[in-house]
Amino acid sequence: MTALLTKLQETFKSLGGEVTKAESWGKRRLAYEIRKQREGTYAVIEGKAEPTMMKEYERQLTLNEQVLRHFTTRVPVRKRIRSAPKPQTPAVEEVS
């Protein structure tokens, strides 16, 4: 599994992406049988890439016979939002 994970990371980098984190979650039981397999090794690769590059990477994952399933999701980048200064309200005096 380590060899496959390394190969997938290298493929990601060769397409122009940047791998920020890669984890192997180990062997786990699948929710249902896929290609007559009841167990699979889960791995997570986090990275930065352009959408066009991701399409090509997903295509290559689909063609790889060692990969049973893959799931790609976009994680939005959180931007710092500056809070706008509160407008000064004039002091109100009560007149009786």
Q: What's the pLDDT score for residue 19?
A: 94
Please tell me the pTM assigned to this model.
0.72
| 49 to 4, 8, 18, 56, 91: CA distances (angstroms) | 20, 14, 7, 11, 53
Among left, alpha and beta (phi > 0; psi -120 to 50; other), residue 41 is beta
Q: What's the pLDDT score for residue 96?
A: 52
CA angle 66, 41, 13 (to 5 degrees): 60
pLDDT per position as a tens digit, 44-92: 999 999 999 999 999 999 999 999 999 999 988 776 666 666 666 665 5
Average pLDDT score over residue span 14-26: 93
**Spatial contact of 30 and 37, defined as CB atoms under 8 Å apart:** yes
CATH fold of 2-63 reads Alpha-Beta Plaits (3.30.70)
Q: What's the pLDDT score for residue 85?
A: 64
pLDDT per position as a tens digit, 25-43: 999 999 999 999 999 999 9
Q: What's the pLDDT score for residue 75?
A: 84
